[in-house]
Amino acid sequence: MIYDVAVVGGGLVGSLSAILLGQLGYSVVLIEKDQPVRTFGEFGLDLRSIAVSPASKILLESAGVWGSLNPTPYKEMCVWEELGASKLTFSSEILEDQELGFICENSEILEAMWGQLGSIDNVECLTGNVLENLQVNPDHATLSLGGREVSAKLVLGADGTHSKVRSAVLAETKTLVTRHHVLATVVQFSGSHAGVAWQKFLLDGPIAVLPSSNSHVAFIVWSQMEKQAERLKKMDRDAFCQEVTAVLEARFGVANRCDHRVVFPVTQHLVKNFYPSPRVVLLGDAARVIHPLAGLGANIGFEDVAAMIDILVVKRPVSDIGKLHDWKAFSKNRIRKSKLMIQAMSRLDDLYANTSPLFTLIRNTSINALDRNKFIKKRLILEAQGLGFL
Ligand SMILES: Cc1cc2nc3c(=O)[nH]c(=O)nc-3n(C[C@H](O)[C@H](O)[C@H](O)COP(=O)(O)OP(=O)(O)OC[C@H]3O[C@@H](n4cnc5c(N)ncnc54)[C@H](O)[C@@H]3O)c2cc1C
């Protein structure tokens, strides 16, 4: 059998793609190395969370996944910094009281997606299978999974940062070195996070405090130098809590309990082409990884999926989905958006890393001026929500 689509990687982006393609009637095989499992830390929460944008929420609703989640909505975001007295607040008041975003646990989204996949007859999930090789032929592609082969008209590489699909087709990729590793955990404070998404720019990198449904418990995403991240990971829990209280200036009271900590290296990369070979399209982290400081990686990956589905809805019915001319235009659009986002993240990091007194003064003055400018803030919020013009 030749499937319409083989999706490699059943993470957030690949699973969503398989659901939406299945719902459009395509025959889909989803190849995933590890069956996703729901994970709970000591607070009953996954250590990994993501801030889901309103645009992504709409997409998850159309996939029939959103209703199974327990998201924590936030209507305000507050950014401040270690050096100086600048403060930037984004509030839903500017947007007729709509949510700015929703904090969701990664493994809960995956669990809901895989539940949904199981209900779609024309989607077959092959878990415990690793893509080892890929050969592109004139009328289909053949995927070698170690001991078995699968054929499809189109291969979607959604297999993450170290994508085998990307390397198999020798897709040219530009890697941008970042100075950071990122530490994720869950912390309980004596005070409340007030349902606000907080971010403080420290000299070494930003620390985000993202609300959970318990007003005293927050997800921590802390970007910093590798050595520092490893030190914080290994330090005993009381010492870690003391350090969190100190860097956050006890804004949420005292950090009195924390879960264990996980550390990820932060890379940024971008492929030259999202359509690097006939019959192969790359999506999500396989195509582009952005610094997690603005919580955009999964959202922009979901945007890749939405852009792909938009093409297919207009073109339906498609007899050979791997041969559409539209993949070139798709790639061009996704490259443009990805470059914008990667540049924005690098500039934001550089902006706060500069410690010269004059620069700090200019930065503080400019950010306070921005905080008073409702028009620009509204534009920025709409872009972050995935509902802007860019
Ligand atoms: C600490 C942290 C915080 C973040 N916070 C946010 C946030 O707030 N908002 C946001 O939008 N983004 C956030 N991100 C980014 C987001 O998590 C990623 O962009 C997103 O998970 C990428 O999804 P993906 O499906 O493209 O890749 P992945 O999640 O990496 O999934 C790839 C899948 O492919 C499978 N796979 C790999 N190789 C093979 C193979 N050869 N054969 C078969 N299967 C294979 C893997 O097992 C995996 O399941 C954060 C990232 C980090 C590290």
Residue-range domain boundaries for the chain: 2-177+267-384, 181-265
**pLDDT score for 367:** 65
CA distance 247 to 133: 47
For the residues 71-92, what does the mean pLDDT come to? 82
Lowest mean pLDDT among 81-90, 139-148, 274-283: 81-90
Q: How confident is the model at residue 180 (pLDDT cuts 50, 70, 90)?
A: confident
Alpha helices in the chain, H assignment, sequence order: 12-23, 54-62, 106-117, 164-168, 226-234, 237-247, 297-315, 326-353, 357-371, 374-384
Per-residue model confidence (pLDDT) at position 315: 79
Q: Quote the pLDDT of residue 81.
A: 77
Instruction: Decide if domain 181-265 falls under CATH 3.30.9.10.
Output: yes
Q: Given CATH 3.50.50.60, say whether it is the number of domain 2-177+267-384.
A: yes
**Which ligand 1 atom is the nearest neighbour of the CA of 266?**
53
Beta strands in 128-246 (DSSP E): 133-136, 141-144, 149-157, 173-176, 181-189, 197-202, 205-211, 217-224
Atom of ligand 1 nearest to the CA of 296: 11
Question: 104 φ, ψ to 5°?
Answer: -130, 150
Nearest CA to ligand 1 atom 27: 160
pLDDT tens digits for range 142-165: 999 988 999 999 999 999 999 999
pTM of the shown model: 0.92
Cα distance between residue 108 and residue 119, in whole Å: 17
Give the three-class secondary structure for 86. Answer: coil
CB 281 within 8 A of CB 152: no
Helix %, strand %, coil % for the chain, to 5?
40, 30, 35
On the CB side of 107, CA atoms within 13 Å amount to 13
Residue nearest to atom 35 of ligand 1 (CA): 9
CA 390 to chain centre: 18
> What is the rounded end-to-end Cα distance, in angstroms, of the chain?
41
Atom of ligand 1 at shortest range from CA of 159: 34
Tokens for 110, please give them. 């995956």
Looking from the CA of residue 184, the nearest atom of ligand 1 is: 1
Cβ < 6 Å from ligand 1: which residues? 8-14, 31-34, 50-51, 130-131, 158-160, 164, 182, 184, 221, 264, 284-285, 292, 295-299, 301
pLDDT band (50, 70, 90) for residue 241: very high
> For the purposes of burial, counting CB atoms within 10 Å of the CB of 96, is it exposed (0-12), middle (13-18) or buried (19 or more)?
exposed
Burial category of 387 from C-beta neighbours within 10 Å (exposed 0-12, middle 13-18, buried 19 and up): middle
Q: Is the pLDDT of residue 389 over 70?
A: no
3-class DSSP assignment, residue 71: coil
Residue 313 to residue 332: CA distance in whole angstroms: 19
CA 171, 21, 102, 341 torsion: positive or negative? positive
